[in-house]
Amino acid sequence: MKLERPRGTRDFLPEEMKKRREMEKILRRIAESYGYGEIATPTFEHVELFTLKSGESIVEEMYVFKDKSGRELALRPELTAPVMRLYVNSCEVMPKPLRFYYFANCFRYERPQKGRYREFWQFGVELIGSDSHLADAEVIMLAYEMLKALKVEFKLEIGHVGIMRDVLKGIENSDRIMRLIDKNQIDELEKFMNDCKVDEKVKDRVFRLIELKGDASILEKVNFAEKEIERLKRIAEILDAAKVEYEFDLGIVRGLDYYTGVVFECYAPNLGAQKQICGGGSYELASLFGGQKTPATGFAIGFDRVYEVCNVDGEKIRTVFVVAFEDTYLDALKIAKMLRNSGFVAVIDVMERNLKKQLSYANDIKAEFAVLVGKNELEEGKVSVKDLKSGQQIDVPIKELTNFLSSRTV
């Protein structure tokens, strides 16, 4: 019986992993350059951590199971709630603000399709302890810089959930309304609001807000929620000065229920249906988890979606194949070690193959050179170096081998 991997999961081969690691390196470097430090939390948590506030959709989409003692646990569908649990457990007394970042796998029981997986990776940050618009602006700039560094083509859209919440204040089922707005299910939204007999004036405002998209001038068209609009204006000033390109979209309400203030999303137009590559905003979860009320803001980049549209290559490492024979194997091992110590990738035969097959394999793995360790050359303190592109072959003293290869490789 051939075993398959679970639906919605993936395997990664070396080529992919190389690019993923390179992306990761870039993201880590930028996060750290802003003073964010890496944290890690468990892969599974008590289910309540997520059911308390993460929103209806996430709860339906969770992997939930009981352990042998009957505890109800869930594989993490995201990391904001775990990070805030960690904050309440261990970091409340630390000097604010706290800057954390993470790179971790998440699990959601969604219907798999291109760009939507049941196991996927997020690279995210949380900035904890500041209620200022400056904190919102910092995380937006950070997300922007990260996606730019990955050479991704994308659009950044910024909104404020407080504005829609203001419109829906006191309205029953406002959570469901927000969710329909988030999913952009406009027909259903209209039907639902009709069914719930939502006041015409409120309905009108909801639809006007959804359509408000564009530069800072659209903010002038809103004559309520003054505090929220003022905040967006102040953020706009900072982003403009930092040459961040963005649009306001007052219809952005985000799927997770914990957002309270400024929210933002990034889209890669080339990705089709699952084009949201980053989402975030400000929220308050600490008090829900038993801590002091603490403002926080952050975002998570959908690493797997960005992978599809990002243009970074894995680091190019020079590869040399060491052709060894039975009577020279121990010397060949020493030569391989010397090459590795000098920064080359040195691959040596482990199949006891003949010369022709070893050279053919060297080509298969895209080695640039083959170093032939033959008995006769060894006796003269030399090896034979074959350039696998040109086919040229010359003898080189072992002492000069690394210099010789360094001067020839790109």
Residues that bind ligand HAM (CB under 6 A): 78, 80, 108, 110, 116-117, 120, 122, 124, 126, 255-256, 276-281, 298-300, 302, 304-305
CB of 114 to ligand HAM, least distance (A): 10
Closest Cα partner for 51 from 38, 41, 42, 60?
60
Contact 301, 147 (CB under 8 A): yes
Report the residue number, 302 or 374, with the smaller CB distance to ligand HAM.
302
DSSP 238-254: HHHHTT---EEETT---
Could you tell me how many residues make up the chain?
410
CB of 96 to ligand HAM, least distance (A): 17
Report the residue number, 288 or 333, with the smaller CB distance to ligand HAM.
288
Q: Quote the CA–CA distance of 80 and 64 in Å, as a whole number.
A: 18
3-state secondary structure string across 268-328: CHHHCCCCEEEEEEEECCCCCCCCCCCCEEEEEEEHHHHHHHCCCCCCCCCEEEEECCHHH
Report the residue number, 273 or 350, with the smaller CB distance to ligand HAM.
273
Degrees (nearest 5) of the Cα angle 35, 38, 39? 135
Number of Cβ within 10 Å of residue 102's Cβ equals: 21
Element (H, E) at 101: strand 98-107
Degrees (nearest 5) of the Cα angle 270, 300, 20? 65
φ, ψ at 304 (rounded to 5°): -70, -35
Report the residue number, 297 or 328, with the smaller CB distance to ligand HAM.
297
Report the residue number, 103 or 117, with the smaller CB distance to ligand HAM.
117
Report the residue number, 137 or 256, with the smaller CB distance to ligand HAM.
256
Cα Rg, the chain, nearest whole Å: 28
CB of 102 to ligand HAM, least distance (A): 9
The residue nearest ligand HAM at its CB is 302
CB of 263 to ligand HAM, least distance (A): 8
CB of 7 to ligand HAM, least distance (A): 12
Report the residue number, 260 or 358, with the smaller CB distance to ligand HAM.
260
CB of 125 to ligand HAM, least distance (A): 7
What is the layout of strands, in order, in the sheet containing 72-75? 44-46, 72-75, 64-66
CB of 14 to ligand HAM, least distance (A): 22
Report the residue number, 136 or 368, with the smaller CB distance to ligand HAM.
136
CB of 16 to ligand HAM, least distance (A): 15
Contact 303, 120 (CB under 8 A): yes
